[in-house]
């Protein structure tokens, strides 16, 4: 019969390789019982009981787990999340790349979806410094059981070079936020930021058709949002970016599809001094400003016309300084989270999450997705 450690006891760390014992000098040196709290990959000696009321130790990660031991869900020191317990040697991997990466929300949204669909797969965050992006991405693409990548700031434009096939959305926007491994080993890139942003507006009851929009920032996300706004019927789009060449190049690409509807402002032209801002229905922050507490505002909401919608694509914090200031001025606001939330169904279709591996599917032994129609 398996004995278990007393609930409510504190958890302490043991030295790697040392027996797992009580942390207090008053407790006995008996090993912790199987079923006691521990980090995955830690040591526990079977068949010994911890003294009643004695502190339960947790061994340092990296030490082996004795076969047959268990961890009691909800026990002190044990995470309530079952994510680690369902990862095995057959688990398929996905990664979300960013620099920084602490703010990413995709793992919290995608992993519950994978679990609900019964997929043996997990999405993990990967901090990819900009100056090491090549080695990070090439290394990930060399992993046999890695099937796809999601991409966030500041890599959305740069990751195009790691793809062999570009979708029309990537070619038009100049950026990508998703890459998948194809059956023949090539990598396909697509971008769902624009579609997600517009879908988020629609779900909140915000009108895009006929709207006059000012877009601040034409980086990876902004380049994807711009064509999506025009495709959804925006009557006029004014682009602001400190990188004038980048904004002008985007405007030129948009003009090939929607001639005469895009205006590119001079570098550094303030939105609040722009004649278009007075008549704008919506001003969108598509810059990274707002990720950090000490970031300046990308523009001044106080100088916008009453009723102008202020939208932000920053997802964490949900209420950015920009949205807080806009709300204080009595302006309607739209946060960044819906842009990602509305992309879940698009990721689901793109990566084939709903399609279970068929018998003999090469993915079961480290292969790739079957052909898509």
Which two three-digit tokens encode residue 270?
Answer: 């303030």
Nearest of 284, 265, 272 to residue 334 by alpha carbon: 284
The neighbour count for residue 27, using CB atoms within 10 Å, is: 17
Residue length, the chain? 373
DSSP 144-205: TTEEEEEE-TT-TTGGGGG-SEE-HHHHHHS--SEEEE-TTS-EEEE--HHHHHHHHHHHTT
Q: Could you say which of 156, 188, 236, 363 is catalytic?
A: 156
For residues 17 and 39, the answer to whether their CB atoms sit within 8 Å is: no
**Catalytic status, residue 156:** yes
Kindly report whether the peptide bond that precedes residue 317 is cis, defined as omega within 30 degrees of 0: yes
Q: How many CA atoms lie within 13 A of 244 on its CB side?
A: 5
Q: Parallel, antiparallel, or unpaired: how do β-strands 178-181 and 165-166 relate?
A: unpaired
For residues 216 and 298, the answer to whether their CB atoms sit within 8 Å is: yes
Which two three-digit tokens encode residue 61?
Answer: 């990660």
The neighbour count for residue 16, using CB atoms within 10 Å, is: 12
Whose tokens are 């916008």? That residue is 304
Nearest of 191, 182, 111, 186 to residue 150 by alpha carbon: 191
Q: How many CA atoms lie within 13 A of 307 on its CB side?
A: 7
Strand locations in 217-279 (E): 236-240, 262-264
Which residue blocks in 302-361 are alpha helix, DSSP H?
321-328, 337-341, 344-350
- The rounded distance, in Å, linking the Cα atoms of 364 and 91 is 9
- The rounded distance, in Å, linking the Cα atoms of 113 and 119 is 9
Longest dimension (CA), the chain: 80
Active-site positions?
Answer: 156
């Amino acid at each position: 019969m398996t004995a278990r450690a007393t609930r409510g006891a504190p958890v302490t760390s043991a030295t790697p390789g040392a027996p797992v014992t009580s942390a207090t000098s008053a407790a006995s040196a008996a090993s912790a019982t199987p079923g006691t709290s521990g980090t995955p990959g830690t040591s526990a000696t079977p068949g010994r009981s911890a003294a009643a009321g004695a502190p339960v130790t947790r061994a340092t990660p990296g030490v082996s787990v004795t076969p047959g031991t268990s961890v009691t869900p909800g026990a002190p020191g044990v995470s309530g999340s079952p994510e680690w317990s369902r990862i095995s040697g057959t688990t398929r991997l996905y990664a979300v790349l960013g620099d920084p990466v602490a703010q990413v929300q995709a793992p919290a949204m995608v992993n519950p979806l994978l679990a609900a669909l019964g997929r043996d797969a997990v999405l993990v965050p990967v901090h990819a410094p900009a100056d090491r992006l090549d080695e990070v991405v090439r290394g990930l693409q060399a992993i046999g059981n890695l099937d796809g990548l999601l991409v966030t700031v500041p890599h959305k434009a740069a990751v195009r070079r790691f793809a062999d096939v570009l979708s029309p959305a990537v070619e038009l926007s100049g950026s990508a936020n998703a890459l998948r491994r194809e059956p023949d080993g090539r990598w396909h890139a697509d971008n769902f930021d624009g579609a997600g942003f517009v879908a988020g507006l629609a779900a909140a009851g915000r009108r895009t058709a006929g709207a006059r929009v000012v877009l601040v920032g034409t980086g990876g996300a902004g380049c994807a949002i711009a064509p999506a706004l025009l495709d959804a019927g925006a009557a006029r789009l004014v682009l602001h970016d400190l990188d004038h060449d980048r904004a002008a190049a985007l405007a030129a690409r948009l003009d090939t599809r929607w001639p005469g509807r895009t205006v590119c402002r001079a570098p550094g032209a303030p939105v609040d001094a722009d004649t278009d801002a007075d008549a704008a229905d919506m001003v969108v922050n598509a810059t990274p400003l707002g990720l950090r507490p000490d970031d300046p505002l990308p523009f001044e909401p106080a100088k916008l016309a009453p009723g102008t919608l202020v939208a932000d694509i920053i997802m964490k914090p949900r209420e950015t300084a920009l949205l807080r200031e806009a709300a204080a001025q009595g302006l309607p606001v739209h946060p960044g989270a819906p842009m990602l939330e509305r992309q879940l169904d698009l990721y689901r279709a793109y990566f084939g999450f709903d399609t279970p591996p068929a018998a003999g599917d090469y993915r079961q032994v480290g292969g790739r997705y079957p052909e898509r129609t």
